């Protein structure tokens, strides 16, 4: 019974610790408060029109935290098998922390090669927006585009 409580406490502590380490998904920088007036009378606040000023390629270097959490749980379970008493508790916590670090590193390395595109658009009202998306297909600098739900499309 005591080992189960210790394991549960270690897993809970590791999960709480790792929740602060998880990266947030990339922010497109897209301002959803703009209403261009081109939306046929209905209020679609995530739509606008403009011209592409530039397109830049960036590398995704983000993690969802899943690798850290899974690694922490596996590490805590492995650490719980070592020693007895307070030594087992210390091994469980150390295994959880080490497993979380390794799991996060594995996930980051797996996602490291993904290319993202930052599309800089000068809107018809003069404001600038940067939209980050996973592909640009046929988009080129100077194209007239529309932004719908945080993605850029040719117009």
Q: Where are the domains of the chain?
A: 2-154
| Predicted confidence (pLDDT) per residue in 101-153, tens digit | 898 888 877 766 678 899 999 999 999 999 988 888 889 999 999 999 889 99
pLDDT for residue 49 is more than 90: yes
DSSP one-letter string for the chain: -HHHHHHHHHHHHHHHHHHTTPPPPPP----TT-B-S-STTS--TTEEEEEEEEEEEEE-----SHHHHHHHHHHHHHHTTSSSTHHHHHHHHHHHHHHHHHHHHHHHHHHTT-EEEEEEEEETTS-EEEEEES--TT--TT-EEEEETTEEEE-
Whole-prediction pTM: 0.45
Q: What pLDDT score does 15 carry?
A: 60
| Predicted confidence (pLDDT) per residue in 7-19, tens digit | 566 556 656 555 5
């Amino acid at each position: 019974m005591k080992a189960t409580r210790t394991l549960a406490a270690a897993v809970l502590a590791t999960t709480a610790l790792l929740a602060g380490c998880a990266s947030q998904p990339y922010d497109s920088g897209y301002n959803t408060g703009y209403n261009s007036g081109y939306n046929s009378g209905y209020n679609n606040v995530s739509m606008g029109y403009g011209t592409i000023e530039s397109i830049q390629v960036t590398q995704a270097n983000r993690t969802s935290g899943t690798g850290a959490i899974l690694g922490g749980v596996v590490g805590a379970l492995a650490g719980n098998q070592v020693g007895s008493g307070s030594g087992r508790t210390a091994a469980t916590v150390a295994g959880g922390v080490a497993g979380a670090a390794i799991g996060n590193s594995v996930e980051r390395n797996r996602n490291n090669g993904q290319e993202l595109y930052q599309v800089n658009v000068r809107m018809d009202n003069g404001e600038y927006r940067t939209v980050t998306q996973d592909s640009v297909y046929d988009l080129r600098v100077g194209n007239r585009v529309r932004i719908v739900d945080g993605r850029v499309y040719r117009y």
